[in-house]
Every structure is written in C-alpha cells, then in structure tokens.
C-alpha cells in the first residue's frame, strides 16, 4: 500500500472519529479512537513511538514521542488546539526527517470541520 493510499484511509478514519466525538476533547482521546478505527481497517498502528535524537553520531533519548506511525510509512501527529501554528508543522517535519519517513499528517481535531484542521507534510528525503 502506498503512502497516499494509507493517508487517504487515515483521513477517512479521522473524519469518522471527528463525526462521532466532535471537537473539544483531549488529544489522547482522539489518538486512541483513531488508532482503533485504523486497526479495524486492518492497518498496523504504533502509538507513542519513542524518537531518539542522533547527536554527534550518538543516539540520545530526549523524550520525543511520535503520536502514531501507520504501516511504518505515515507519521500522524494529533492536536486539539485553537489553530495549527508553524511550530506544529516544524515538529512533524523534524519527526519525518529523524525517522526517515516521507509523509506525515498533522490533524487538529479541535476544528468545526476536520478537513480544515488537516495538513499534509512531505519530507523530500
């Protein structure tokens, strides 16, 4: 399955979660519900994946965690904020580079329409 096919399934699952729950809940709530939807679709989902930093050729645990990786091909960062900020885009782009993954989705569930809180980020490896 390609990154685009996976991201399409993630977006569909996100819309379903948002339709059921609406905006205004904690990020962790949306994360577990989205993971559940994706697993029902038969997709491999890893949550709260530790992300070490490579500093001068040494792996250091700096406490970073990726919200979700789907099929080891798409990183999903979940937010529940008033509006996405440039720092959120920078965060997921950094995760994509460190994990050497091509595609990421930034999903803000605190939107009236989920599509308005969705941002697709491509890492040009």
Q: Where are the domains of the chain?
A: 3-122
Q: What is the mean pLDDT of residues 3-26?
A: 97
Report, as an integer, the average pLDDT of 11-35: 97
- Going by the DSSP 8-state scheme, the letter that residue 77 receives in this structure is E
Give 60's strand partners: 53
Q: In the predicted model, is pLDDT for residue 124 greater than 90? A: no
**Does the predicted model carry a pTM greater than 0.85?**
yes
Contact between 78 and 107 (Cβ < 8 Å) = yes
pLDDT at 53: 86
Question: How many contiguous H segments (helices) and E segments (strands) does the chain have?
Answer: 3, 7
pLDDT tens for each residue of 44-66: 999 999 998 888 988 888 888 99
Buried b vs exposed e over 88-110: b needs ≥16 C-beta within 10 Å? beebbbebbeebebebbbbbbbb
Closest CA to 13 of 105, 121, 112: 105
pLDDT in tens, 65-103: 999 999 999 999 999 999 999 999 999 999 999 899 999
């Amino acid at each position: 399955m390609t990154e685009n096919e996976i991201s399409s399934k993630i977006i569909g699952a996100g819309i379903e979660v948002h339709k059921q729950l609406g905006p205004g809940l904690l990020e962790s709530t949306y994360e577990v519900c989205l993971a559940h939807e994706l697993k029902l679709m038969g997709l491999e989902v890893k949550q709260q994946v530790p992300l070490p930093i490579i500093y001068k050729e040494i792996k250091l645990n700096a406490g970073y965690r990726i919200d979700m990786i789907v099929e080891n091909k798409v990183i999903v960062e979940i937010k529940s904020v008033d509006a996405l900020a440039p720092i959120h885009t920078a965060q997921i782009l950094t995760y994509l580079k460190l994990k050497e993954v091509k595609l990421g989705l930034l999903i803000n569930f605190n939107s009236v329409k989920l599509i308005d809180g969705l941002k697709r980020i491509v890492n040009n490896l």
